[in-house]
Amino acid sequence: MNLKLAYGRGFLDVAFPDDRTTIIEPAEQAGLPDERAAVTDALDQPIGCASLRALIKPTDRLCILFTDITRATPNERLIPWLLDYLKDHPRENLTLLNQLGTHRPNTRDELEEMLTPEVVRDYHVINHEPENEEALVQLGTTRSGAPALINRQAVEADWRIVTGFIEPHFFAGFSGGPKGIMPGVAGLKTVMSNHGHANIGDPRATFGRTEGNPLWEELRDIALRTGPKFLLNVTLNERREITGVFAGDMLQAHERGREFVRKSAMQKMDEPFDIVVTTNSGYPLDQNLYQGVKGMSSAARIVKEGGLLILACECSDGVPNGSPFDKLLRESASPEELLTRIATPGFVRPEQWQSQIQALIQRRARVVVKSSLPDEILRACHLTPCDDIASVVRDELNRLPVNARVAVLPQGPLTVPYLN
């Protein structure tokens, strides 16, 4: 059989053996027939609170938090519709804040692509600055005692309108909801504390789990320390069509949205597979190898111990090269050495959580990557490069027993398989 694997802005056509391959995809969700009307209706009839228009006053300073370029949120539709809904609100009382977390700032061209040129031209749009102490306000501490720092624009506004989309998340349970504030607009020190060795290594910090997940519960608690909030989250299918709109009280609306996602994205499997092929759901999530760990994580849930995991992730934006994630991988002689370093008391590095998860996956399985990165860069990151996924699968099956099986996740972490 030939399957189309999401890759960059297109697809890879890959042949797999018909009799030994299981395709794992989200349950089909149709796009809403009128997306804009659904968004407007959700703003007027939200979950757990009054309509957005009834909540805000003309004198209120509003901070609209939007997801960055690594996320698939249809900002180019969602944000203009939201701003049109707020068209009677004084424009000087509106700030649009990019939820970068610890990612790099987005360029003006990228912001125009994400939000439309008209929004960037007509509104105050800024990137979050996770390392600029003057741009942050402390709201207590994390459980480990680090300062809980949140962007000043978000904290000092009268209302925070937190936008984004909900999908399974590999250590926070689900994206969206309070993640738009923490880590979306949190300080680097705060994120490093929350994403520290103990939380990342906790088995409860995984796909589909929020309550009881120490990492998610802390980010929720920190997000709740800010003032009044209104959530506008959507769910998407693989065509980036909006399948659901969840607006209103941050926790109640998010809970409703994540249960909607759970029904389509979580797929039960009876047994692990010898080979698991996954993507990172294509652009924008597969822009770099750092984000590619999400696709690895989804596949790792159903691969046999010692099995083969193949990731298709274009990496048009590099590792990113020279990033803390890149440096930490290169400085470590092996995944095991990296895990030892991260577990050393007092060792703290930005983005160590992503390299920790990659190394833990590599304890379980061999990882091969199809990307646009040079082979030497992938090897420096302790990964095996791959030019032809079909031939790698064929060679692996030839050395395995005749009952060996292959699983394919064409949309990567948009599907979260789990073992029964």
**Half-sphere exposure (CA, 13 Å, Cβ side) for 284?**
13
Residue 378 per-residue DSSP state: H
Q: What is the DSSP string of 387-400?
A: S-HHHHHHHHHHHS
State the virtual CA torsion across 255, 261, 264, 267 in degrees, nearest 10.
Answer: -80
**The amino acid at 150:** I
User: Which entry of 103, 195, 254, 382 is annotated as an active-site residue?
Assistant: 103
Q: Is 103 a catalytic residue?
A: yes
State the virtual CA torsion across 75, 78, 83, 86 in degrees, nearest 10.
Answer: -150
User: Which entry of 89, 128, 169, 254 is annotated as an active-site residue?
Assistant: 169
List phi, psi (to 5°) of 410.
Answer: -60, -25
Rg (CA), the chain: 21
How many CB atoms are closer than 10 A to CB 95?
18
Q: Tokens 């979306």 label which residue?
A: 184
3-state secondary structure of 54: helix
CB 364 within 8 A of CB 300: yes
Instruction: Give dist(CA 47, CA 91) in Å, integer.
Output: 26
The set of catalytic residues is 103, 169
